[in-house]
Amino acid sequence: MKGSRLILVILIWLGAFSILPAQQRFPKPEFRTDYTQPAPTTPESRATAMEFLDVAVLLAVMSLTAWFAIRKRSRKGILVLTIVSIIYFGFYKKGCICPIGSIQNVVLALANPGYSLPLYVLLLFLLPLVFSLLFGRVFCGAACPLGAIQDLLIFKPITIAPWLRKTLGIFPYIYLGLAVLFAATGTEFIICRYDPFIGIYRTHGPYLMILLGIAFLLTGLFVARPYCRFLCPYGALLNITSRFSWKHLSVYPTHCIECKLCTTACPFEAIDFPDSVRERPETRKSARRFILFFILIPVLMAAGGWIGSRSHVYLSRAHHTVALAELLISHPELRNDTDNLDIQTFLASGKSLETLAAEAQVIRDKFRTGGWILGAFLGLVIGFMTLNQLIYRRKEDYQANKGACYSCARCLDYCPVE
């Protein structure tokens, strides 16, 4: 191994020397004094093995959260884990790559065969999802650094009206759909670019990123976990998978005395009320409504797809190639603008405008197809969300809503039944 590397280096040097004299305008001098030429340094990045340590820590934190939430029923334990993940995933690891952003890596790997997906990124993406199928959203509960920092800063949570909460709940799906579209077309990683808290963990970042982070944290003092509830695209996925979880945190250990204390403890309004305090809708009327809305789903999907494909020109402008081609075609006079770096670099590269326009057209076509899928997906989500409102689910006592519950275990401390 060592020997072959040495030979390789020698070969490369010989190759380099055979070309270099032709390249160098000013040949390297032959020094008379005993000057030794220094070599350029190449400082190493964080060790590769450390990335699998991240996966191991993630596994450990999620397993412990599940244990504390389901078996041990301890809010304190989860609080300690929250602080651990703020320190480890936040301030030590400084965010990237996190499971939330890994959605884009996975999508890009599916869309672009040339993209290599590191195994540990795939693990980061899958593990929280598998855990949510088993134990609910334990990832959100303590392991996610973005959720953790918001969770610690809940000061006086206000109650948000259900209609508003549910309407705002559509945004994670829109964000998810756009992130998938932009990642699949190779445009950019919007989840990472608009991640509000990473700048805080790194203690430096673009001005807007820090400002966004502070705005979210301030909102979070009164609206608990605003990013998790109304924006997080990975939370949208976990919300779905967690509904089918094998085991889930239960508010009471043995039986419910309907004291309602848990509903005041939960800052996220994630506790469902029992039949005794809910009005049951008239069966026949709700059944008719259900059928009507069920038929409406394909209509919604078609309408969404149409809107999505109509907006593909607008959406595709986020891609730099499309933006550059459009700019050059609509404003040819900008070719003389020496301050426009993108245009000047393009002109210097010797590529023809036709080639660029053809490339842009390929990307735009991808956006047209993607717009259809995005719109149909959003139509489906809206349809299902509405249907979900119409279904009356029988509940005997106060229970955590499996989709919305973060397994933060606040309610467990409040339950007087022990």
Q: 191, 304 in Cβ contact below 8 A?
A: no
Q: Which of 55, 83, 87, 106 binds another protein (CB under 8 A)?
A: 106
Binder to another protein among 241, 309, 316, 407 (CB under 8 A)?
Answer: 241
Minimal distance, residue 21 CB to another protein, in Å: 11
Helix (H, G, I), strand (E, B) or coil at 219: helix
The CA-atom distances, in angstroms, between 105 and each of 111, 127, 146, 166 are 10, 15, 19, 29
Q: Residues 116-155 vs another protein: string with x where CB under 8 A?
A: xxxx--x---x--xx--x----------------------
* Residues 151-190 interacting with another protein (rule: CB under 8 A): 186, 188-189
Min dist. Cβ of residue 13 to another protein (A)? 8
From 199, 220, 305, 371, residue interacting with another protein (rule: CB under 8 A): 199
d(C-alpha 228, C-alpha 144), whole Å: 10
Contact flag: residue 37 with another protein (CB under 8 A): yes
Smallest gap from residue 159 Cβ to another protein (A): 28
Footprint (CB under 8 A) of another protein, residues 352-411 = none
Q: Which is nearer to another protein, 27 or 416 (CB)?
A: 27
Beta bridge partners of 272: 399
DSSP 8-state code for residue 277: G
Q: How many residues bind another protein (CB under 8 A)?
A: 76
Q: Looking at residue 127, what DSSP letter applies?
A: H
Q: Which of these ranges, 141-149, 162-170, 336-344, 369-377, lies near another protein under the rule CB under 8 A?
A: 336-344
31 versus 163: smaller Cβ distance to another protein: 31
Contacting range for another protein; rule: CB under 8 A; set: 69-77, 215-223, 272-280, 345-353: 345-353
Distance, CA of 360 to CA of 363 (rounded, Å): 5
Q: Does 42 bind another protein (CB under 8 A)?
A: yes
**Total Cβ atoms within 10 A of residue 116:** 10
Using CB under 8 A as the binding rule, whether residue 104 contacts another protein is answered as: yes
Binding to another protein by residue 96, rule CB under 8 A?
A: yes
Least spacing, CB of residue 356 vs another protein, in Å? 13
Please provide residue 272's backbone torsions phi and psi, each rounded to the nearest 5 degrees: -85, 145
**What part of residues 281-320 is at the interface with another protein (CB under 8 A)?**
320
Helix 341-349, helix 320-330: angle, nearest 10:
90
Count of residues in the chain: 418
Confirm or reject binding of residue 341 to another protein (CB under 8 A). Answer: yes
- Of 346, 367, 377, 406, the one binding another protein (CB under 8 A) is 346
**CB-facing half-sphere around the CA of 224: CA atoms within 13 A:** 23
Nearer to another protein, 52 or 222 (CB): 52
The three-class DSSP label of residue 157 is coil
SS3 242: helix
Burial label, 93 (beta-carbon count in 10 A; 0-12, 13-18, 19+): buried
Q: How far is the CB of 288 from another protein (least distance, A)?
A: 22
Minimum Å gap between C-beta 237 and another protein is 10
Note whether 62 and 78 are within 8 A (CB): no
* CA quadruple 213, 214, 218, 219: dihedral sign: negative
- Binding of another protein at residue 247 (CB under 8 A)? no
275, 282, 342, 413: which one contacts another protein (CB under 8 A)? 342
Pick one of 155, 222, 244, 314: the residue that binds another protein (CB under 8 A): 244
Classify 272 as helix, strand or coil.
Answer: strand
Tokens of 326: 């459009």
Picking from 258, 270, 235, the residue whose alpha carbon sits closest to that of residue 157 is 270
Residues 203-222 touching another protein, rule: CB under 8 A, are: 204-206, 209
Closer CB to another protein, 82 or 241, in the complex? 241
Please report whether residue 43 would count as binding another protein according to CB under 8 A.
yes
How far is CA 307 from each of CA 177, 230, 301, 312, 386, rounded to the nearest angstrom? 14, 23, 10, 9, 20
Binding mask 5-34 for another protein (x = CB under 8 A): ---xx--x---x---x--xxxxxxx-xxx-
